[in-house]
Structure 1
């Protein structure tokens, strides 16, 4: 199972294997304070794409399409994460405030399709 969770939400055992999927380390968060098993920057959106989305230069539908194109270049890493989810819960941690439209949701859908 693959799920998404805001990294500022409290960790619990149901989270399973926790992966930070942001390219940048969260502001104000000490590394020791974040309960995560790994930081996977390679599956985060590129800086240019992230900036375009956050500045509202592109909408979420366009962002999702372009992000999936970037993810297609990281299929091996995606398959590694998807295999982890075969045996345990994998929680993708993200820092975005918007719980409905963020890159972790796009990533989770893409991983489920692999």
Structure 2
């Protein structure tokens, strides 16, 4: 099971392997206060794509397509992450306020597809 969760929400036993998937450390969060197993900066949108999306230069649909294209080059890292959570849930932690339109949701979708192909 792959799920997404705002990093500001409390950790729970059902989270399994918790991975921070933001390129930048979240503001206002001390590193020793966040419960996570791994900070995976590799599986985050490029700085240019992140900037375009957050500035409003592209909408979510365009962002999603561009992010999926970037992810296509990161299959090995995706497989590695799936391996870390093979026998437990994988929770992708993100800081975005929008819980539906963010990079972690697209990453989860991509990882689910990758898991099916394995």
Asked if these proteins are the same fold (TM beyond 0.5), I'd say yes
Structure 1 vs Structure 2 CA RMSD: 0.8
| Unaligned 5+ runs, structure 1 | none
TM-score by length of 2: 0.94
Deviation at 1:81, TM superposition (A): 1.5
The answer for the alignment partner of 1:64 in structure 2 is 64
Provide the residue aligned with 2:27 in structure 1.
27
Q: How many residues align?
A: 114
Asked whether the 8 Å contact 2:16–2:85 carries over to 1, the reply is no
Once residues 84 and 36 of structure 1 are traced to their aligned partners in structure 2, the CA distance between those partners, rounded to angstroms, is: 13
* Alignment gaps of 5+ in structure 2: none
Q: Show the counterpart of 1:5.
A: 5
Question: Which residue number in structure 1 is paired with residue 93 of structure 2?
Answer: 93
User: In the aligned structure 2, how far is the partner of 1:85 from the partner of 1:37?
Assistant: 11
Distance 1:57 1:85 in 2: 35
When the two structures are superposed, what TM-score results if normalisation uses the length of structure 1? Answer: 0.97
Distance 2:2 2:10 in 1: 17
